[in-house]
């Protein structure tokens, strides 16, 4: 994690205009129209004076690199092509974190405050419930994660070594799934969940939306049931928007940090319609002053938690980056206890069960015991209700498809979603 000096400096820069997206100086995102052949990209790139750098064919998005100072003219040329649906500047997103200002935070107060100990009697997770952490990587050798970190991928360096060169990702992973009852360290929200590390942020904890989109698609295709995104910025792109829709269509719970700028401006990916946006609360259930807020934020969770650091260490970890994996861990516990529950049903339970009355958050502060029944009898009844709901929804869907076959888009279809504006970056 960055030093306090570095974070204060970053905060000073961002305070000038915190809602300005940070754009990449050389990269352009191009989305082709549905009838366009990818083979035409070569001529298109040559005409615009750019080079193809990365392909995301699942969502028809391609990353182009332009010479320095030529991004604007290249976008103008690309937008004139009848093959191009969208051509836009790439946006850089960053890890969301806040430097702790008090070394005496009560150990694990957040888990107790939100009722996790009461639900561990019912569910402590399952290795089959895989949580993907899209971040700076994860230190798989940490003793509090031993044995449950799956083989991941590094989209920053394009290799299979998803180790952590910053520390932010390891801290996030600890809040989600640090092992418990092993007589060391701390306990995560979901003790036995599988952890899938996907490195999409570099050693400075920054990354492009194209790399993040590639990581989302990769995790979605490799069995992730929950995706944690403790990162963001005040802007989005067609790549990020469509990748989130791609994952949502594959029944994955998406959870993202609301940001640490004390702003109500929409912060992405937390503000995306497919995502549970998470703010951060203190021990008195008030939002921290630095936590972003607004009607676009779904829930809040404790924002300062003891967790893991690289090289087998431990540290205090504060920010919406810390609150978000607590919500991801709760989603994983629910999916472990109710394997037939859809992502939509899991998100609904988290929203429905939140403690209301928290200004700046749509539904309130999460409550694990309200989201997941705390007795085995209640658990069985809840599972039966979930199964009945799933069957009812399936029957309704089948009736709809039979009556309106022309409206069925088919498997794997991703509807185009227009990019939205509104941004934020790493905070103090």
Q: Could you give the residue numbers annotated as active site?
A: 135, 168, 321
Separation of first and last alpha carbons in the chain: 11
How far is the CA of 98 from the CAs of 8, 189, 303, 370, in angstroms? 10, 21, 9, 29
DSSP letter string, 110-168: HHHHTTHHHHTTT----TTSEEEEEES---TT-TTTTT-BPP-EETTTTBS----SSSH
CB 177 within 8 A of CB 217: no
Burial environment of residue 260 by CB neighbours within 10 A (0 to 12, 13 to 18, 19 or more) = buried
Chain-centroid distance, C-alpha 5: 27
Return the structure tokens found at 250: 């594959």
- Which residue is it, tokens 């295709």? 221
Q: Where are the beta strands (DSSP E) in 34-122?
A: 51-56, 61-65, 84-95
- Partners of 62 in the beta sheet? 30, 55
- What is the number of other CB atoms lying within 10 angstroms of the CB of residue 128? 13
How far is the CA of 41 from the CAs of 184, 240, 336, 359, in angstroms? 54, 20, 43, 48
- What is the number of other CB atoms lying within 10 angstroms of the CB of residue 282? 19
CA torsion 122→127→130→131, rounded to 10°?
60
């Amino acid at each position: 994690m960055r030093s306090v000096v570095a974070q204060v400096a970053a905060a000073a820069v961002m305070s000038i205009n915190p809602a300005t997206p940070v754009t990449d100086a050389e990269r352009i995102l191009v989305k082709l129209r549905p009838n366009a052949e990818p083979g035409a990209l070569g001529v298109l790139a040559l005409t615009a004076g750019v080079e193809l750098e990365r392909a995301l064919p699942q969502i028809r998005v391609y990353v182009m690199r332009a010479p320095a100072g030529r991004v604007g003219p290249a976008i103008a040329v690309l937008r004139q092509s009848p093959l191009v649906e969208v051509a836009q500047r790439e946006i850089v997103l960053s890890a969301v974190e806040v430097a702790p200002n008090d070394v005496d935070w009560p150990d694990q107060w957040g888990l107790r405050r939100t009722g996790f100990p009461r639900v561990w009697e019912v569910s402590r997770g399952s290795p089959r419930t895989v949580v993907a952490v899209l971040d700076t990587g994860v230190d798989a050798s940490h003793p509090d994660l031993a044995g449950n970190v799956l083989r991941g991928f590094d989209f920053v360096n394009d290799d299979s070594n998803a180790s952590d060169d910053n520390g932010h990702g390891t801290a996030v992973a600890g809040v989600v799934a640090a092992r418990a009852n092993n007589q060391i360290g701390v306990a995560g929200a979901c003790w036995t969940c599988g952890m899938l590390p996907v490195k999409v942020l570099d050693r400075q904890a920054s990354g492009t939306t194209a790399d993040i989109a590639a990581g989302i698609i990769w995790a979605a295709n490799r069995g992730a049931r929950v995706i944690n995104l403790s990162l963001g910025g005040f802007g989005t792109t067609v790549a990020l928007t469509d990748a989130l829709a791609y994952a949502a269509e594959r029944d994955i719970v998406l959870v993202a940090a609301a940001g640490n700028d004390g702003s109500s401006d929409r912060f992405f990916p937390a503000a995306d319609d497919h995502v549970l946006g998470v703010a951060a609360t203190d021990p008195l259930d008030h939002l921290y002053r630095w936590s972003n807020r607004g009607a676009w934020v779904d829930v809040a969770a404790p924002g300062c938690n003891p967790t893991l650091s690289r090289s087998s260490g431990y540290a205090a970890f504060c920010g919406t980056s810390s609150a978000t994996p607590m919500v991801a861990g709760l989603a994983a516990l629910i999916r472990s206890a109710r394997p037939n529950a859809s992502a939509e049903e899991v998100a609904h339970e988290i929203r429905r069960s939140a403690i209301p009355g928290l200004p700046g958050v749509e539904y309130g502060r999460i409550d694990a015991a309200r989201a997941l029944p705390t007795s085995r009898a209640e658990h069985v009844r809840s599972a039966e209700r979930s199964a009945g709901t799933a069957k009812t929804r399936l029957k309704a869907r089948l009736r709809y498809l039979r009556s309106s076959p022309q409206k069925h888009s088919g498997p794997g279809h991703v509807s185009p979603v227009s990019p939205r504006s509104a941004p934020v970056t790493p905070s103090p």
